[in-house]
Amino acid sequence: MSLRTQELLLNVGPQHPSTHGVARFRVWLDGEVVTNLELVVGYLHRGIEKLAETRTYTQVIPLTDRLDYLCSMSNNLAYCTAVEKLAGVKVPERAEYIRVIMAELQRIASHLMSVGFLLNELGAYYTPIIYCFRDREKIVDLFEMVSGQRMMYTYLRIGGVSQDLPEEFIPALKRLIVDLRKAIEEYEALLSGNEILIARMKGVGVLSPELAINSSASGPVLRASGIKWDIRRAEPYSIYDRFKFEIPTANNGDCYDRYWVRIEEMKQSLNIIEQALKDLPAGEICAKVPALIRPPRGEAYGHIEAPRGDLGFYIVSDGSIAPYRVHIKPPTLINLTTMKDLCVGWKLADFIVIFGSIDVVLGEMDR
Amino acid sequence: MTLLNQFIQWLDNYWPHWASYLTAAIIGVLIVVIFVVLGIIVVIYLERRLLGRFQVRLGPNRVGPEGIFQPFADAVKVLTKEDIIPAAADHWVHWLAPVVSFIPVIMVFAVVPVASGAIFADLNVGVLYLAAVSSLSVLGLFMAGWGSNNKYSLIAALRSVSQMVGYELPIVFSLLAVVAAAGSMSLNRIVEVQAAVPMFLLQPLGFIVYFIASLAEINRSPFDLLEADSEIVAGVHTEYSGMKFAMFYLGEYGHAFGASCIIATLFLGGWQGPFLPGFLWFLIKALIVFFIMIWIRATMPRVRVDQLTAIGWKLLLPLAILNLLIVAMEQIFWPGVFPWVLVGINALAGLALVLLIGRTVTIRGGRVEV
């Protein structure tokens, strides 16, 4: 007599400790091994694209904060870049430098969360994530200093930023850079060489360069597969062509490489901030734009290198005070399309780690 | 002669033997249970506070001075919670599982000598009893996973069984080496022979193997696969609430405390020690072991289920067998040798073996074709 066996269909999410919100997967398991996987999206859909059509151009900025709530500054920057392209607004020098500083600080904050949550999913009982929170907190303090908010900053405006840097900001930022360098060294010492961490992540969930390109993956996920593509270099927006920085890439495309690329990117972001701080000019912080912007009829696509990848805003104007159509290209949704190829054949525990290493934020995926 | 036997002899002056035996047994059981429960409360408090320290936060510090009454507040909270049994659960198995997993935890303490003569039952097969009883609580966990009728619990239940096969053999083999060195299976006797040199110096390899394997036995990080909250929600506890969940929770910490006590007894010399009374020495040693467990929990990520099995079979089992071989040969060929000579030889041999086997064995595991 033989035992009857069958595949187990497991619903991971929308309520699950490591779905980063409300992602849902239907996972078919043979014992512990994943044989098939299906992503179900839409649990956090708030209709942000549609809501944007009923607001003026400036009023859309708070909506973009709520897309990827771990990197609101980057979302603001992507949206403003697109609108400025559409309306032909020239941003003052000082505002550009402030924007770069904010975007790079936001990248560090976001990568800190990413590394922390990845380690949590590896089962390191909350210690790494609280260390990461400790350092992110200092960045959030700076954001609070400039914008008055700790999460939904709404700091950027079309044509510049909403208010100038306060006096105490620059000394605080200089102290922060020293602290963060030390903290990143600490993470590398504590995490990167850990035997269990390597055993769990090296070679797990390999994304081949071909598949990465064909699925139009972007951000650290793409660069971990060995492809040197960073919009800050490939299509420089804002003033990124003035800074010297490396684009870290890795060769294997596994979870460890995705983790490693994020750690290296944080160091590069610190370099960019230091350079921007050195050259920060005085002057206007916002271009002269009318309170009700009426861009000419037409369309524009602006995209930036957000912490999670290529974040794009496609805006169509009919000449009125509100956009006719706003479309958001979210990097997390596109990076997640390869989940099945990455996970099939690995264990249930690996599936969670692969998902964490892609680093998603559901607010952006479901919009 | 244990204290309990002296008590029975004293009672025999007044009563028939069966009555004094029964009285002594009941009082002994009560003392053991109170000791276990108090121990659990202390270790839960320590774990939460120390984890807080490790994680740059404070930990519970509101209830009473430094939060020492937090476990009691939690107990009251848990007692007043609703007890939910899922509609499709196997009612009796679901109900019985917490009990089955908690009772072996208390039974373990029956053979642990907490001070000179302070032992509930000085069994001459104490180590055998220990190996048998301490692995019983897996049965309760499996029942819980099976009876809950929840897919996450089921996965955890199957993990618990595959995990047990992996760690139980190294545990037994490293216990055998201790027995060979001590020449007795009675835990009291094992403590007495460690008066000169504690066992963890005599058999460093066996100590390390036993420590790692017992981390797996008590389901603590990095082997906490049964309640891997990031993967399978809460594992076998998913469908438990109220007092039944508290039983699992207490059982888990009781098991961890029991393992600390056993390691303190078998390898660290139990109640032996200068100046302080034996009871204090025993507690200090057990809490040091538990502190190391907390430290590991605060630091290490979790291994995967196949990696745990690989660690058990490929790494720990060969090391445990080789350790037994070395200890047995030393016992046969140099029975009366000065123990500190053996300490040096065994430390070097252990280091060499760990390096050799650690380098040759891979535990990483790979992709399965489906």
- What would the mean pLDDT of B62-89 be, rounded to a whole number? 86
- What would the mean pLDDT of A11-26 be, rounded to a whole number? 83
Q: Provide the CATH topology of domain A47-338.
A: Cytochrome-c3 Hydrogenase; chain B (1.10.645)
Residue A178 is predicted with a pLDDT of: 92
Whether the CB-CB separation of B164 and A21 falls below 8 Å is answered with: no
Pick among A8, A25, A117, A125 to test the B interface (most B CBs inside 10 A): A125
Q: Which residues of B touch A16 (CB under 8 A)?
A: 233
Measured between CA atoms, the residue of chain B closest to residue A342 is: B367
Q: Which residues of A touch B298 (CB under 8 A)?
A: 125, 127
Residue B291 is predicted with a pLDDT of: 92
Is the confidence at residue A109, as pLDDT, over 80? yes
Q: Which residue has the tokens 């009919």?
A: A318
Nearest CB among B154, B301, B364 relative to A124 is that of B301
Provide the residue ranges of all domains of chain A, joining segments of one domain with +: 47-338
Q: Is residue B365 part of a domain?
A: no
Closest CA to A106 of A134, A77, A73, A131: A73
Give per-residue pLDDT as tens, A306-350: 898 889 999 999 888 889 999 998 898 899 888 888 888 888 888
Say which DSSP state B255 is in: H
Nearest CB among B228, B365, B370 relative to A35 is that of B370
Give per-residue pLDDT as tens, A274-288: 999 888 888 888 888
- Which range has the worst mean pLDDT, A118-127, A314-323, B206-215? A118-127
Residue B15 is predicted with a pLDDT of: 81
* Residue B200: CB atoms within 10 Å: 20
A196 touches chain B (CB under 8 A): yes
Measured between CA atoms, the residue of chain B closest to residue A11 is: B151
Q: Give the 3-state secondary structure of residue B194.
A: coil
Count the domains in chain B: 1
- What would the mean pLDDT of A24-34 be, rounded to a whole number? 88
- What would the mean pLDDT of A67-85 be, rounded to a whole number? 89
- Which range has the worst mean pLDDT, B212-221, B316-325, B333-342? B333-342
Whether the CB-CB separation of A98 and A279 falls below 8 Å is answered with: no
What's the length of chain A? Answer: 367
For chain A, percent of residues with pLDDT exceeding 70: 100
CB contact under 8 A, A126 and B155: no
CB contact under 8 A, A119 and B301: yes
Give the separation between CA A254 and CA A206, rounded to whole angstroms: 4
Q: Give the 3-state secondary structure of residue A309.
A: strand
Q: What is the DSSP string of A135-172?
A: HHHHHHHHHHHHHS-SS----EETTEESSPPPTTHHHH
**What would the two tokens of residue B160 be?**
């618990």
Q: Which residues of B touch A190 (CB under 8 A)?
A: 299
Q: Is residue B336 part of a domain?
A: yes
- Say which residue, B339 or A96, is predicted with more confidence: A96
- Which range has the worst mean pLDDT, A166-170, A206-210, B9-13? B9-13
- Say which residue, B369 or A311, is predicted with more confidence: A311
Interface list for B 214-243 with A (CB within 8 A): 221-222, 224, 228-233
Give the separation between CA B151 and CA B257, rounded to whole angstroms: 30
- What would the mean pLDDT of B32-52 be, rounded to a whole number? 89
Query: Average per-residue pLDDT in chain A?
Result: 88
Residue A121 is predicted with a pLDDT of: 87
A42 — pLDDT class (breaks 50, 70, 90)? confident
For chain B, percent of residues with pLDDT exceeding 70: 100
Is the confidence at residue B1, as pLDDT, over 70? no
Residue B210 is predicted with a pLDDT of: 92
Q: Is residue B366 part of a domain?
A: no
Beta partners for residue A15, in sequence order? none
Give per-residue pLDDT as tens, B289-333: 999 999 998 888 888 888 888 888 888 899 999 888 888 888 888
CB contact under 8 A, A124 and B299: yes
Measured between CA atoms, the residue of chain A closest to residue B365 is: A199
Q: How distant is the alpha carbon of residue B45 from its chain centre? A: 18
Is the confidence at residue B117, as pLDDT, over 80? no
CB contact under 8 A, B304 and A18: no
